[in-house]
């Protein structure tokens, strides 16, 4: 069947024809590609078209699709059983691997999705501090739990408004939404409500409003204010964890801010290697507040699934090899440098940024620092570029507000071909 036929069929039985909204191509227009298989840096759609893949299942496929060591681990685990609802040694091994790679994380709880990890971390922060309010930033996405589906209100440090129908206003009345990288708002929020704030949750390098870094002064101030007011600093590293560096984005900031550590961390994507798996962790004192030790309840039938943990553990073992991230970062930098060069040749304003195997670009003359700036970039040009690249066999994220991902499977030839395609697309 063609992609169009499959999409029409899907829309009869699945809302919007997709099981996650961005897949519907609503932001860019056109027909979604229905993928039948993937290998290495490529995936193929229902019509047999091959694409060089720069979404990587939205981040997990850091080794590329079907890495032999990961496939072997998953196949062996599946032969032993899909799910037990009881503890396994591999859960311990994966927790130990995460703790070994992320200083400051002394214990972790495994769950099945980034949304589950984010909402559980928020509940734990509230339970550990005895406070209800928390801060998030516009443009940061922490999953689709009710309290986290919030947009900014008018004025500084205002309570947010639900971004989804079905979320009662009472549920988000304790959510404060601030502008990313805005020091004035941050200082004001803590000055007026610091004693009531349980935590601040942030994507340190946001991947859900394209690719936007939190500035070093912003993160430094955030750490100082949380410490001063007794709030917990929660790094949402669902995207960035083990993707921008082996120790995640927090290790990048620790090189720039002496002694820096968040209080809690949320992980997903890479630690599952493509399987449904996520985690949240922190100090032993904070994590001891979780049931069965403490009063904060959290549970999950498939948490620590034996096949998912096998996949994640094999992935972490591969990316821990010496030189892995140096090579990945160099390959990613070559891609964004090539895109910028192609844009200059075409006399098109384009800026880009990357860290490790994660990147972003916008059609503008300066890198955006917050969600409002991202949304002011040239969306129409991005949409044209997306389709022109898709026509040339390059699969980018189907929305300007999503980051992109390079894997270890992308070769120098893949990058060169992508840059050449971009040159054509920008002149089309």
Cα–chain-centroid distance for residue 230? 27
In the block, which residue shows the tokens 């929020």? Answer: 189
Closest CA relative to residue 267, chosen from 290, 244, 288: 244
> Residue 363's CB: how many other CB atoms inside 10 A?
19
Closest CA relative to residue 107, chosen from 353, 250, 281, 238: 281
First to last CA, the chain: 29
Beta strands 212-213; 161-162: pairing state? unpaired
Sequence-separated (6 or more) residues with CB below 8 Å from residue 266: 114, 117, 118, 121, 142, 201, 234, 235, 236, 237, 238, 241, 278, 279, 280
Known catalytic residue at 51: no
114-to-41, 239, 279, 343 alpha-carbon distances in Å: 24, 9, 8, 35
Measured in degrees and rounded to the nearest 5, phi and psi for residue 392 equal -100, 15
Q: Which of 51, 54, 136, 269 is catalytic?
A: 269
Is the preceding peptide bond at 292 cis, omega within 30 degrees of 0? yes
Helix (H) or strand (E) holding 69: helix 68-80
Helix (H) or strand (E) holding 355: strand 351-355
Known catalytic residue at 236: yes
Do the Cβ atoms of 402 and 375 come closer than 8 Å? no
Closest CA relative to residue 50, chosen from 61, 60, 39, 64: 39
Record the tokens describing residue 165, joined without a space: 């129908």
Which of the residues are catalytic?
141, 236, 269
């Amino acid at each position: 069947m063609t992609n169009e036929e499959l999409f029409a069929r899907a829309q009869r039985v699945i809302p919007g024809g997709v099981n996650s909204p961005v897949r519907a191509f609503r932001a860019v227009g056109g027909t979604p590609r229905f993928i039948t298989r993937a290998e290495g840096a490529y995936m193929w759609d229902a019509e047999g078209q091959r694409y060089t893949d720069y979404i990587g299942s939205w981040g997990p496929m850091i080794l590329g699709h079907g890495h032999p060591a990961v496939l072997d681990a998953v196949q062996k685990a599946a032969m032993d059983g899909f799910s037990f609802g009881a503890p396994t040694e591999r859960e311990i091994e994966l927790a130990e691997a995460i703790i070994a790679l992320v200083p400051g994380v002394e214990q972790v709880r495994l769950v099945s999705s980034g949304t589950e990890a984010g909402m559980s971390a928020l509940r734990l922060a509230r339970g550990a501090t005895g406070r209800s309010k928390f801060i998030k930033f516009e443009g940061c996405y922490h999953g689709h739990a009710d309290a986290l589906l919030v947009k900014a209100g008018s004025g500084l440090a205002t309570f947010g408004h639900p971004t989804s129908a079905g979320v009662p206003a009472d549920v988000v009345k304790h959510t404060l939404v601030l502008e990313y990288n805005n020091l004035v708002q941050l200082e004001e929020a803590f000055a007026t409500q610091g004693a009531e704030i349980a935590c601040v949750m942030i994507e340190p390098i946001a991947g859900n409003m394209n690719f936007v870094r939190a500035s070093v002064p912003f993160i430094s101030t955030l750490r100082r204010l949380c410490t001063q007011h007794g709030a917990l600093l929660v790094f949402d590293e669902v995207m960035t964890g083990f993707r921008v560096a082996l120790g995640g984005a927090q290790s990048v900031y620790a090189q720039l801010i002496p002694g820096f550590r968040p209080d809690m961390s949320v992980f997903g994507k890479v630690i599952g290697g493509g399987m449904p798996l996520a985690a949240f962790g922190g100090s032993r004192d904070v994590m001891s507040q979780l049931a069965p030790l403490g009063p904060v309840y959290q549970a999950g039938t498939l948490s620590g699934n034996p096949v998912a943990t096998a996949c994640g553990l094999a992935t972490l073992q591969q990316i821990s090899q010496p030189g892995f991230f140096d090579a990945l970062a160099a390959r990613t930098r070559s891609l964004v440098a090539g895109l910028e060069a192609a844009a200059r040749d075409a006399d098109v304003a384009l800026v880009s940024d990357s860290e490790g195997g994660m990147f972003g670009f916008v059609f503008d003359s300066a890198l955006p620092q917050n969600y409002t700036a991202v949304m002011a970039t040239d969306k129409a040009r991005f949409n044209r570029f997306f389709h022109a690249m898709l026509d040339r066999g390059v699969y980018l994220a189907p929305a300007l507000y999503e980051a992109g991902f390079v894997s270890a499977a992308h070769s120098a030839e893949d990058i060169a071909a992508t840059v050449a395609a971009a040159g054509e697309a920008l002149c089309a």
